[in-house]
């Protein structure tokens, strides 16, 4: 309570309330005491009533820079583009400058001293970390009044004063000028959409104030992981899904794969342990396919047959689509397309078609099996870094993370992909026929022949299904 509270000055609000009641009762003017309900703003974290205390603070100017900041927002490439609006809306909603001083412990100290006599604020030389509440003042005398006593600042900076330096830090601002010149603005800021108004905005403000430039070329804004009912997770609502048990049960790669494959860039998604389990099944499939292929030593090149050329044409299409998506910082397309390719095409169709040849050491089949696996590992490495690297190290030596993304193979007959629906329909038809006639998949079946349109695959298809 301030002076304005008269007799109650100096008390806390709680104390003043109690004393007001006692005083009123002492005067005999209290008719009754009853519980009522009224609206009180509560702290989001502690759930205690919010109390407004006026105090002096340092502010960083921002209102007067709204126009150049809007312009800079327009100069950065957003992924997805629609999330630029989050930044623009925040810039438009600013009504005060940025209060940057905080009264708390354990943060970056504000490097200021004040003259003990006239109160002038003094800034020490840059290049050193100062703790004004503890360190001796680095000044001889006050330039204003020549006093020699100084009082160190005991407040700290707002968190985002530090965080807004991250792009300056990684580009070695004031540490390595040549490196900084070459690398500022930084290439990419990846972050969640809930901190656009803080991390991205303040980084933009600070880069504008110190460099007059945009902070990044690209900004990648990802969505939030929500709970099963679609609510944002908070400690206070106790709907937080801890990561450790999920990692323990399914592995970190399964969680990464789930996050990449669940929604398009920038969209929120609901955390689902079922789907994380599904991601693990896909990774187990990748592992098992790799283990099968590891039975055949890799060879540099082989004489290709039609089936090999067909799957390499499909692989080219996959590589092309995934590379295009990665250019857009999109992991949703590569994760899903690689799964579809491995699970629905490569493993059930191609691998089965060439199994017999591979066991005979046919160089076309062995070459193609390894070529496809290597490209799949390279495509998936950014999303599932651990299992792809483990497989790569075991089978090929070195790290998959030292590899480039795969390129389109030249000389592949792209038109063969037109036959894919027919190949897959034929295989499905034979599998169904065996099922209907209770013939195990590995046993011969008669009465089925390879259609004319698939004649070039006839050898492989005949051996795959043991067509009699």
Q: What is the contact surface with Zn ion in residues (CB under 5 A)?
A: 115, 117-118, 120, 142, 144-145, 147
- Between 145 and 295, CB nearer to Zn ion: 145
As a whole number of angstroms, the distance between CA 76 and CA 221 comes to 12
- Between 136 and 411, CB nearer to Zn ion: 136
**Minimum gap (Å) between residue 40 Cβ and Zn ion:** 44
Residue whose token pair is 């080219």: 316
**Minimum gap (Å) between residue 112 Cβ and Zn ion:** 14
As a whole number of angstroms, the distance between CA 258 and CA 278 comes to 8
**Minimum gap (Å) between residue 177 Cβ and Zn ion:** 36
DSSP β-bridge partners for residue 121: 114
- Between 122 and 387, CB nearer to Zn ion: 122
- Between 145 and 175, CB nearer to Zn ion: 145
* b/e 176-213 (16+ beta carbons within 10 angstroms → b): eeeeeeeebbbeebebebeebbbbbbbbbbbbbeebee
**Minimum gap (Å) between residue 146 Cβ and Zn ion:** 7
Name which of 463, 467, 466 is nearest 357 in CA terms.
463
Name which of 258, 255, 225, 259 is nearest 240 in CA terms.
225
- Between 139 and 292, CB nearer to Zn ion: 139
Cα-based angle 70, 76, 80 (whole degrees, multiple of 5): 105
DSSP string spanning 306-345?
HHHHHHHHHHHHHHHHHHHHHHTT--HHHHHHHHHIIIII
- Between 19 and 117, CB nearer to Zn ion: 117
Dihedral of alpha carbons 6, 7, 11, 15, sign? negative
**Minimum gap (Å) between residue 117 Cβ and Zn ion:** 5
Report the chain's C-alpha Rg in angstroms: 33
- Between 21 and 118, CB nearer to Zn ion: 118
Output phi, psi for 186, to 5 deg.
-65, 160
**Minimum gap (Å) between residue 120 Cβ and Zn ion:** 5
**Minimum gap (Å) between residue 153 Cβ and Zn ion:** 15
């Amino acid at each position: 309570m301030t002076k304005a509270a008269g007799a109650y000055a100096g008390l806390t609000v709680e104390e003043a309330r109690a004393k007001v009641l006692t005083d009123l009762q002492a005067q005999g003017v209290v008719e009754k005491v009853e519980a009522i309900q009224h609206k009180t703003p509560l702290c989001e974290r502690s759930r205690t009533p919010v109390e407004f205390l006026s105090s002096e603070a340092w502010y960083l100017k921002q209102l007067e820079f709204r126009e150049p900041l809007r312009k800079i927002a327009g100069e950065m490439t957003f992924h997805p583009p629609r999330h630029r609006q989050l930044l623009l809306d925040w810039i438009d909603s600013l009504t005060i400058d940025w209060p940057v001083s905080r009264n708390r412990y354990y943060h970056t100290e504000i490097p200021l001293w004040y003259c003990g006599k006239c109160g002038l604020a003094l800034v020490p030389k840059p290049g050193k970390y100062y703790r004004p509440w503890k360190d001796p003042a680095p000044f001889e005398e006050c330039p204003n009044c020549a006093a020699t006593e100084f009082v160190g600042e005991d407040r700290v900076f707002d968190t985002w004063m530090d965080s807004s330096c991250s792009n300056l830090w990684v580009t070695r601002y004031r540490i390595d000028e040549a490196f900084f010149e070459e690398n500022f603005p930084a290439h990419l800021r990846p972050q969640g959409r809930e901190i656009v108004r803080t991390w991205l905005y303040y980084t933009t403000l600070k880069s504008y104030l110190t460099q007059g430039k945009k902070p990044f070329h690209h900004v990648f804004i990802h969505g939030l992981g929500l709970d099963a009912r679609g609510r944002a997770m908070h400690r206070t609502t106790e709907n937080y899904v801890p990561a450790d048990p999920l990692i323990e049960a399914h592995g970190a790669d399964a969680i990464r794969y789930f996050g990449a494959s669940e929604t398009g860039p920038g969209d929120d998604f609901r955390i689902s342990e079922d789907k994380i389990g599904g991601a693990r099944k896909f990774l187990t499939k990748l592992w098992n396919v790799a283990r099968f292929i590891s039975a055949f030593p890799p060879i540099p090149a082989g004489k290709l047959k039609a089936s090999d050329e067909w799957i390499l044409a499909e692989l080219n299409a996959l590589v092309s689509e995934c590379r295009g998506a990665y250019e857009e910082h999109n992991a949703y397309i590569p994760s899903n397309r690689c799964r579809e390719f491995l699970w629905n095409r490569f493993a059930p169709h191609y691998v089965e078609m060439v199994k017999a040849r591979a066991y005979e050491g046919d160089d076309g089949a062995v070459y193609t099996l390894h070529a496809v696996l290597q490209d799949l590992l390279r495509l998936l490495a950014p999303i599932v870094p651990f299992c792809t690297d483990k497989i790569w190290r075991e089978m090929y030596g070195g790290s998959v993370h030292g590899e480039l993304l795969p390129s389109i193979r030249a000389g592949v007959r792209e038109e063969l992909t037109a036959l894919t629906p027919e190949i897959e329909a034929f295989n499905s038809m034979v599998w169904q026929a065996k099922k209907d006639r209770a013939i195990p998949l590995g046993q011969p079946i008669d009465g089925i022949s390879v259609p004319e349109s698939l004649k070039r695959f006839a050898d492989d298809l005949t051996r795959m299904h043991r067509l009699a």
